[in-house]
Amino acid sequence: MDKKINRQNAMDNERIAGGKVWLVGAGPSDAGLFTLRGKAVLEQADVVVYDKLVGQGVLGLIPSGVELIPVGKVSGYHPTPQYRINEILLEEALKGKKVVRLKGGDPFVFGRGGEELELLCEHDIPFEIVPGITSAISVPAYNGIPVTHRDFCSSLHIITGHTKKLEEAEVDYEALVKVGGTMIFLMGVSAMPKICKGLLDAGMRKNMPAAILERGTTAHQRRVVSDLTNLPKDAEKAGIQTPAIIVVGEVCSLADQFHWAEDRPLGGLKIAVTRPKDRNSTLASMLSNLGAEVVLLPTIETEAILENTALRENLEKIHQYKWVAFTSPAGVKVFYDEMRKMHMDIRSLSGLKFAVIGAGTRKAVEEKGIIVDLMPDVYSGEALGQALAIQLKKEEKEGKKPSLLLPRARIGTEEVTRPMDEAGISYTDLPIYETIDMESNGMVTYDDSVDYVAFTSASTVRGFVKMHPDIDYTKVEAVCIGEQTAAQAESFNMKITIAEKATMESMVECFLRRKEGMKS
């Protein structure tokens, strides 16, 4: 068919039905290696069709409400056959959906990306390709192996250990040995002895450095560096499993000198961070900056109380108050959303003072154009309550009438209000949102591979338990902010570590100490 007409048809289809497919490379696993373009595309997807090799961190970036279709092999089940995947993409696109086909590494490097496009082309479905970082290059990099080095090689070969029919590769070893250079075999774990033998038989020297790299770019990545003769034996001893890549070439010897990923302060640790959905986690970025693999595990979500007349009434008479205290970014959002509905903006709040529980909430308030007047040094409800009690008591002594509005969760903790009750200070406790336990989407969940779970509130512990009703909690290593959170984790018999201070920095300290402990 005329290519031009074909393109025009595709564009018309896009305009009329809106159906389109994005073939997106998810990278080798580490979410930090996912592209900006990939993330932008995910954020507007209606449906995501994903493989088993896509990292949990990347899956965690899929917004809620997006339909998910797993097509990779999940423990025991066979993967969806390729023709069926092709059909799924077509069917979903024909429904007018924005379909993201998310694949491990790069979609065109042994990813069968080309095959998936063929059927789409036949039906004039518009598509885009978002390349990804291939495991072939990034996994060696995370193991301190530069795939090329001027002193050692002048070419790089990426070879499959499997053919289309899943037989052992029909590789021309002699040609490879003749060309030389670094050789990278994907999908080669089971065929490894054959690959090594093939290269040796073709005349490669017996002590050519060779390595196998398992689960690269994850916290639990492992490498076995050996030589062509001994690699099969050494890999077997180490129990190396798929996914892994085999690297053959002089560059492998550099791993000894250049390894780095596991040496980062939190390298080697996989940490699940529970948090309310749709909230940026400062803790998560602090942990991943220190080298931990972070899995975002939203266990609770917040929902504004609808038709909240109490909130409306209080907003109408907001100038009867002197202080407004927020205990979460969610509270700030609900408060301002309601203001907007009432055609109010920050001008209606002039003269009021604002208190917040911690940095995340302060940011939310400041984004509204308001500077915060009071934030305790320590992140806890109690500290906020105490700071407010002291401040309001002082104002009372100065002859001012203390008046505080506390818009927060319906099941707000007494920690905030107790110090004020004790000081005999009156306030208005105003429920503006509900905290709801989240259901697992089955995609990102806790499993044995998680070393620690970070809990930042008692409600995240409860949400976690509801989400994972069948696991052995005695195996869960819980790192908790504050006594209340720890008490909740302890009530489920989790192993607990309590951050010395109720700050994110102190949480991070806990992990650093645990990592030190693991080394010694």
User: Which is the catalytic residue, given 11, 12, 52, 73?
Assistant: 73
Of 211, 204, 202, 153, nearest in space to 182 by CA: 153
Using the minimum distance from each CB to ligand SAH, give the nearer residue, 53 or 383: 53
Helix axes 309-316, 329-341, angle to 10 degrees: 70
Strands 477-480 and 495-498: parallel
Distance CA 20, CA 13 (A): 9
Q: Which residues contact 26 (CB under 8 A, 6 or more apart)?
A: 34, 38, 50, 51, 53, 54, 55, 58, 102, 103, 104, 105, 132
Least distance in Å: CB of 107 to ligand SAH?
6
Question: Is 368 a residue of the active site?
Answer: no
Q: Which is nearer to ligand SAH, 23 or 300 (CB)?
A: 23
The answer to whether residue 51 is catalytic is yes
CA dist 520 and 513 (Å) reads: 11
For 297, the enclosing helix (H) or strand (E) is strand 293-304
Give 54-98 as a DSSP string. S-HHHHTTSPTT-EEEE-S--TTSPPPPHHHHHHHHHHHHHTT-E
How far is residue 278 from each of residues 260, 392, 460, measured CA to CA in Å?
32, 33, 14
4 catalytic? Reply is: no
Q: Which is nearer to ligand SAH, 108 or 473 (CB)?
A: 108
Q: How many residues does the chain have?
A: 520
The nearest distance, CB 139 to ligand SAH, in angstroms, is 5
375 touches 358 (CB < 8 A): yes
From 183, 187, 467, 504, active-site residue:
187
Q: How far apart are the first and last CA of the chain?
A: 67
125 or 213, CB closer to ligand SAH? 213
Contact assessment for residue 184 and residue 157, using Cβ atoms and an 8 Å cutoff: yes
Q: Which helix (H) or strand (E) holds 39?
A: helix 36-43
Task: Calculate Rg over the CA atoms of the chain.
Answer: 28
Q: Toward ligand SAH, which CB reaches closer, 195 or 416?
A: 195
CB of 42 to ligand SAH, least distance (A): 17
Nearer to ligand SAH, 109 or 169 (CB): 109
Supply the minimum distance, in Å, between the C-beta of residue 273 and ligand SAH. 21
Q: How far is Cα 187 from Cα 200, in angstroms, rounded to an integer?
A: 20
> In whole angstroms, what separates CA 406 from the centre of its chain?
32
Name the residue number minimizing CB distance to ligand SAH: 105
Question: How far apart (Å, rounded) are the C-alpha atoms in residues 476 and 448?
Answer: 9
Residues that bind ligand SAH (CB under 6 A): 28-29, 53, 104-106, 109-111, 134-136, 139, 186-187, 213, 215-217, 242-245
Residue (64 or 242) nearer to ligand SAH, CB: 242
Phi, psi of 215, rounded to the nearest 5 degrees: 45, 45
Q: How far is residue 422's CA from residue 448's CA, in Å, rounded to a whole number? A: 45
| Among the listed residues 359, 356, 219, the one whose alpha carbon sits nearest the alpha carbon of residue 287 | 219
Q: Select 106 or 382, whichever has its Cβ closest to ligand SAH.
A: 106
Residue 111 CB, nearest approach to ligand SAH (Å): 4
Cα–Cα distances (Å) from 471 to 75, 83, 476, 492, in that order, read: 17, 36, 9, 11
Angle between helices 458-467 and 482-490 (to 10 degrees): 30
Catalytic residue among 30, 46, 51, 451: 51
When the beta carbons of 106 and 301 are compared against ligand SAH, the nearer one is 106
**Which residues participate in catalysis according to the annotation?**
51, 73, 187
